Amino acid sequence: MNSVVSSNRSQRWNEGNGSMVSSFILLAFSEFPYLQVPLFLGFLIMYTVTVLENLGMIFVIRINPKLHTPMYFFLSHLSFVDFCYTSVIAPKLLGLLLVEDKTISFEGCMAQYFLGCTFVITEMFMLAVMMAYDRFEAVCNPLLYTVAMSCQLCSLLVVVTYIWAVIFSSTLTYVLLQLSYCGPNVINHFCCEYSALISVSCSDTSFSQMACLVISMFNEACCLLIIITSYVFIVVTVIKIPTKGALQKAFSTCASHLTAIGVCHGIVLLLYCVLKSKSSLFLVKVATVFHSMVIPMINPLIYSLRNKDVKETVRKLVYLKCIFHSL
């Protein structure tokens, strides 16, 4: 990654007439100087809760044999992605609020963007390809569910999702590396987000903006097509269920997934397909906070902590911890 960044920077240096920036200044929330400490404490609490929830969920799923199902296999990977994504953004944000030095190196900025973009796309397709397809099989083919969602298929879906995300995030990062950054090097954001980076470029960014829009819309269209197709079959199957209890169970099975999909894709569309003007910079920051810190924090609550097996495992762990401390 560093060698690619260095070679592209050298090429851009030779092509440009001015000097290339070696670092960026992230303003974060500097327009609110009296809120730096409250924001730091708030984000620190959110990040701590997110880490504990997601790593705890992975641990709970691993130690409870009842949770060794395709759905919880996917949820463990979703928790891993949420943990990684918020860990790419939150530590730097906390540092920006705590210290006066608000710089980030050019290489560090590109690395942060690449990793963040990878985890965003991975989460989108995990919610679509894996979770929607998993709910489709669970509702429409309950008797053949364990056969259809085999261990090999689940692992393949996870691997393909990660590869897909790396391909598209690498493409967008490469597009950013083709731009010249001659200054000013001040970014009115708390992370290296795509629109924030192209706003400080001294090159023509029309192709970069179009590439981001096309890739974002393509990924959104693919995800929504999979989700809509899966849920059309689910609704048709649910309508045929004669008993009211079974009907409610089927809808409750899909409710949490639809909630997470609506929140996640709504924020992504807002960030990459709607908010582009300079007047919406504050809304971009708020949306990015929501997507990078709030969603990873609430996903375990939406999906897993309502499950009785998960609750029982957590209660046992707390009970064992209390016994251990009492000895």
At 19-51, the pLDDT tens digits run 577 889 898 888 888 888 999 999 999 999 999
Q: Is 131 exposed, middle or buried (0-12, 13-18, 19+ CB in 10 A)?
A: buried
CA-based angle 157:160:166, to the nearest 5?
A: 140
Task: Give the integer Cα–Cα distance in Å for 283 and 119.
Answer: 21
Q: Would you state the pLDDT for residue 16?
A: 42
Say if CB 194 and CB 211 are below 8 A apart: no
For residue 238, the domain's CATH number is: 1.20.1070.10
- Give the amino acid at 192: C
| Residue 11 predicted with pLDDT over 50 | no
Cα separation, 58 vs 225, in Å, equals 29
- Six-digit token string for 113: 């963007």
Are 24 and 103 within 8 A, CB to CB? yes
107-122 residue pLDDT tens: 999 999 999 999 988 9
Cβ atoms of 70 and 134 within 8 Å: the answer is yes
User: Is residue 68 over pLDDT 90?
Assistant: no
**E strand or H helix at 94:** helix 70-98
In a domain, 202, yes or no: yes
Segment (H or E) for 71: helix 70-98
pLDDT tens by residue, 145-176? 777 788 888 889 899 999 999 999 999 999 99
Q: Please check whether residue 327 lies inside any domain of the structure.
A: no
Cα 103 from Cα 114, distance rounded (Å): 18
Nearest to 303 by CA among 125, 109, 58: 58
Distance CA 312, CA 264 (A): 28
CA terminus-to-terminus distance, the chain: 50
Tell me which of 317 and 44 has the higher pLDDT.
44
Strand extents, DSSP E, the chain: 23-26, 103-105, 186-187
Q: Is the peptide bond before 91 cis (omega within 30 degrees of 0)?
A: no
Q: Tell me the C-alpha distance between 260 and 197, whole Å.
A: 28
Please report whether residue 49 resides in a domain.
Answer: yes
β-pair partners for 25: 103, 186
Query: Is there a domain that residue 311 lies in?
Result: no
172, with CB counted inside 10 A (0-12, 13-18, 19+), is buried
Domain enclosing residue 68, as ranges: 2-302
pLDDT tens column, 234-257: 778 777 766 666 566 666 666 666
> Is position 322 within any domain?
no
pLDDT reported for residue 40: 93
Q: Is residue 325 part of a domain?
A: no
Is 317 domain-assigned? no
Number of domains in the chain: 1
pLDDT value at residue 93: 92
Q: Is residue 203 part of a domain?
A: yes
Tokens of 256: 């949490």
Are 1 and 114 contacting, i.e. CB atoms less than 8 angstroms apart?
A: yes
